[in-house]
Structure 1
Amino acid sequence: MLAYLARLPLFLILAGIAALAMFLPAFHALLLEDHTIARSFFYTGILGLALVSLTGVAMSTGPRRTDNDLANLFSLFLTYSVLPLFLAIPFYEGLGTTSYLNAYVEMVSSLTTTGATLFDEPGRLRDSLHLWRGMIGWLGGLLMWVSASAVLAQLNLGGFEVTATAEPGQGGTRFDRFERASASRRLGRATVTLAPVYVGLTVIMWLCLLVGGDRPLVGLVHAMSTMATSGISAVGGLQNAQSGIAGEAVIFLFLTFALSRLTFSSDTVTTARPGLWNDPEFRLGVIMVVGVPLALFARHWLGTLDVTEGQSWLAAFQALWGGAFSVLSFLSTTGFESAYWDAAQDWSGLETSGLILMGLAVMGGGVATTAGGVKLLRVYALYLAGTREMERLIHPSSVGRAGARSRRIRRQGAFVAWIFFMLFALSLAFLSVVFSALGIGFEQALVLSVAGLSTTGPLTHSALEVPINLLTIGPWAKLTFCAAMVIGRLETLAIIALLNPGLWRD
């Protein structure tokens, strides 16, 4: 059976998994006696399994397909852009009060772990539909974990190009003397290794949120959203959850997994100096999580000199916690707001806090995590290159104090990171122009572009004083936002790698 599945395209396997996943919300809706939603998920799942099975049988009689990483990368592109057409069917049929385009946008947002929602009105969606949104985001996060290890790492993409010795989009030369495992076998090994960890962490967090007082569905959706950094909520955000600050503390702890993951990859800077604290991504993330909230906290005295009313210690703690949690949340591109974020804003007196959240989302989390954005490793590479250039301004003939691996990051790694940053900036500018041409204001267009490219959908509600209502924008703007989310999830370098003639020649 496994040998037969290994011969199928990755996209077809993922479509089968999506069809099987539909039976869980169908059973959940049946328990709640919501038969319309139960039938929509059950019938769509049966139809999907039938189509996948028939397609698999038809492909098994043909010539054996080429098993390579570029083909799997193209399957990932199809997964994020085409598979939501199938995922949206039960959502559209079960809700019954929206257009199919809106359902498609919702599914693209969930699968890419962006988390931007068109249905933020309380009570608009039933619990089973919230469960489906959370499941799709959770499965999208697991797909990113597995594909980062088995696909992107082999092609030196997704941040691995900073420390790799080969060019982005090409395999390394270190395996030239050995026979590499097939792409399907690497996918299987990565899934068997990472899936139990992913599931176990989700279950542990869910139990902690249940102990904190959340309803089972709310706690499960928040746990899945935290692990996938999707920011999806069944109650409109953490401020409406029952677990309070205890639940936020649990989520804060698990959000640290988005700063760095050292469970695989032998081509990272951390192999030279083992240990989590020696990981530059983790240290840079900790600096941001500690430094930004402290700066906002100190601005209470430095920037708002007209404030003379005394503040209690409780208000100070709430402001500090609200800033720390929200900074980590948006740095990991999750987008959960702390219930005390408003207190942090009032304490600092900063009227443009949305710019800080957008900047954190653009910076992003760690390489090979579910977080989006530019990624901390690329930022670290640019930092090393910048400090070295400043040293050479003072001592032009000096020799850098670093080993071979650090020199690789500071030179070739920084060069590739700068290219990616420029591609990210050009994509941001192009999308902003397109949104503006479609009749959206400049500020809203900029926020939509950043939210899509960084996969931080809650920015549409948090970055501006007036939240962006995605339901009111035009159909072409919605499709443009979908394109931005797909580009942000796969990254521009991966999209360019899809133009490799080798993929189309095969």
Structure 2
Amino acid sequence: MLARLVTLPLFVILMGMGAALMFVPALFGLINEEFADARAFFYGGVIFLILASFVGIASANRVVKRQSRAHLLTLLAAYTVLPLILAVPVVEGFVPVPLFDAWWEMVSAFTTTGASLAPDPGAVTDTQYLWRALVGWAGGFFAWVTAIAILAPLNLGGFEVLSDGGTGQTIRSTTTKRIDSAMQGSSGGFSQITRVADTSERLLRYTGRLFPIYTGLTLVLWLALAVTGTAPFVAFCHAASTLATSGISPAGGLTETRGGFFAEALIFAFMWLAISRKTFTSDHPTAYKVPLSADPEMKMALLVITVLPLLLFVRHFIGVVEVEGGSTVLSALSALWGGVFMVLSFLTTTGFESASWEASRLWSDLTAPGLLLVGLAMMGGGVATTAGGMKLLRVYALIRHGERELEKMVMPHSVGGAGAQARRIRRQGAYVAWVFFILFASAVSGVMLALSLFGVGFDQAVALSVAALTTTGPLAQIAPATPVIYASLSDPVRVILAFAMIVGRLETLAFVAILNPEFWR
């Protein structure tokens, strides 16, 4: 039976999983006496399970010749069509929601962006918020598995930095050519691909390996947050949102819960999972294996999280202690904690706001603290994690390349050391990282231009563009001086943002591969 399921198209499997997931809020709504929502999710689960079964039977013997193209297009369909299926119970629930708004909410949740059209948490039932958290949680796991099972063999999603392609390669050779060679059995720098790889087989294998880890970590964080005094329902939503880096909260954020500092500390610890793939698994399809302590993404994150809050903190700490004495030490430490938490929260594109962030803003005396968060979200988290953004590995490659260029300016005939892999990252890796940076900057500019055509101001356009492309929805409400209310945006603006969320989750290099004419021959 399982072998037959593996042969089905990936989208059919996703449709069935999405339908099966609907029974969870159906049971929750029944227990919570929200019967209208319970019926909507139960009926939706039954209908779409039947529909998935029919489609699966009709496509059971379909042979896919170009699996790379089929699975990339399936990823695109998963973030555009699948949210339409997931939105049906929302439309038919207790609170009437237009289909477009429900689809937009599901796109935001499944891409782990976490932006919401609800004006306040009380306007949505607990069952609906549980569904948003579950969709975000499932979207995080989907992004996690597909990054390793699909994007890694294609040298996409940040893995191209570790590739051994030549320095003179173009976009075509770093995407389409790699796609073809990967599916024909060429290793392309990844040692585990020694035969014609079947993508469904890889998806099944990595799902079986990673799902217990992902689920177990979620349950551990849920129980730990409940111990701190957070309500069980809120604790589960926060735990699921932390693992998925979606930032979805039914309580309006961490500032409205009873967990206090201990709850924030637990979430802070689990957000480290989005810094590097090596924090949760050592099974990675590349020969580039280093311990966690020497992982470049981890070192980059430690540098940013250590240096940036200290730079904002030390000058005012010295001045205040000299004037007011030790009575302000506790408030100073609270401000420091707020800065450290927010740096990691937006570096991993989670978007949770610390209860001490306001104190940190006042302490650092920043006139525009939102720009700091925008830069952190653009930098992003680790490769093959649930985080969005540019990815720390690409930033690391650009920094190492810059260091080497400065060395050559001082000593033109020097020879760069640190091994073949380090030289590859400084050369080929930095080249493709720079290409991605240009594409990402162009995407931000394009989205900003499109938003400006519909009357969105410059500050809000910057925040909305970066929030969508980095899948950090709360950024638009925290970064600008005037928070952006998503519900107040017009439908064309929300269409643009939905497209930007999808591009941000798939990444621009995957879109280049899909749009390349060579890819369709």
Matching of residues 84-483 of structure 1 within 5 Å = 84-166=83-165, 167-169=173-175, 170=178, 171-172=181-182, 173-174=186-187, 178-262=194-278, 263=281, 264-267=283-286, 269=288, 271=289, 274-300=290-316, 312-483=328-499
Contact 1:160 1:268 in 2 (8 A): no
Q: Structure 1 CA distance, aligned partners of 2:94 and 2:151?
A: 36
Contact 1:69 1:154 in 2 (8 A): no
Deviation at 1:89, TM superposition (A): 1.1
Q: Structure 2 CA distance, aligned partners of 1:95 and 1:139?
A: 23
- 1:146-172, CA deviations, whole angstroms, 9 ceiling, x for partnerless residues? 101100101000000000125433245
Q: Structure 2 CA distance, aligned partners of 1:369 and 1:95?
A: 35
The residue type equivalent to 2:89 in the other structure is P
Deviation at 1:359, TM superposition (A): 0.3
TM-score normalised by the chain length of structure 1:
0.95
The yes-or-no answer on 1:485 pairing with 2:501 is yes
Contact 1:281 1:377 in 2 (8 A): yes
Q: Structure 2 CA distance, aligned partners of 1:298 and 1:435?
A: 39
The yes-or-no answer on 1:12 pairing with 2:28 is no
Q: Structure 2 CA distance, aligned partners of 1:75 and 1:503?
A: 15
- 1:150-209, CA deviations, whole angstroms, 9 ceiling, x for partnerless residues? 001010000000001254332453379942341111111000110100001001000100
- Could you list the runs of 5+ residues in structure 2 that have no partner in the other structure? 166-172
Q: Structure 2 CA distance, aligned partners of 1:19 and 1:447?
A: 34
Contact 1:138 1:224 in 2 (8 A): yes
Q: Structure 2 CA distance, aligned partners of 1:11 and 1:4?
A: 15
Determine the structure 2 residue equivalent to 1:23.
Answer: 23
Deviation at 1:46, TM superposition (A): 1.0
- 1:238-290, CA deviations, whole angstroms, 9 ceiling, x for partnerless residues? 00111110000000100001110122224264x1xx31110010010011111
Q: Structure 2 CA distance, aligned partners of 1:301 and 1:211?
A: 33
Q: Structure 2 CA distance, aligned partners of 1:177 and 1:467?
A: 48
The residue type equivalent to 2:4 in the other structure is Y
Contact 1:7 1:65 in 2 (8 A): no
Contact 2:192 2:286 in 1 (8 A): no
Deviation at 1:72, TM superposition (A): 1.4
Q: Structure 2 CA distance, aligned partners of 1:63 and 1:104?
A: 29
Deviation at 1:501, TM superposition (A): 4.8
- Could you list the runs of 5+ residues in structure 1 that have no partner in the other structure? none
Contact 1:67 1:183 in 2 (8 A): no
Deviation at 1:140, TM superposition (A): 0.5
The alignment covers a number of residue pairs equal to 500
Determine the structure 1 residue equivalent to 2:58.
Answer: 58
Deviation at 1:102, TM superposition (A): 1.4
The residue type equivalent to 1:336 in the other structure is F
Deviation at 1:414, TM superposition (A): 0.2
The yes-or-no answer on 1:80 pairing with 2:79 is yes
Taking only the aligned residue pairs, the percentage that are identical comes to: 48
The residue type equivalent to 2:385 in the other structure is T
Deviation at 1:28, TM superposition (A): 0.5
Contact 2:64 2:70 in 1 (8 A): no
The residue type equivalent to 1:168 in the other structure is T
The residue type equivalent to 2:364 in the other structure is S
Q: Structure 2 CA distance, aligned partners of 1:21 and 1:503?
A: 34
The residue type equivalent to 2:357 in the other structure is W
Contact 1:361 1:456 in 2 (8 A): yes
Against the structure 1 CA distance between its residues 51 and 115, is the aligned structure 2 distance closer, same or farther, given a 3 Å change threshold?
A: same
Contact 2:133 2:237 in 1 (8 A): yes
Determine the structure 1 residue equivalent to 2:168.
Answer: none
Deviation at 1:233, TM superposition (A): 0.5
Deviation at 1:213, TM superposition (A): 0.7
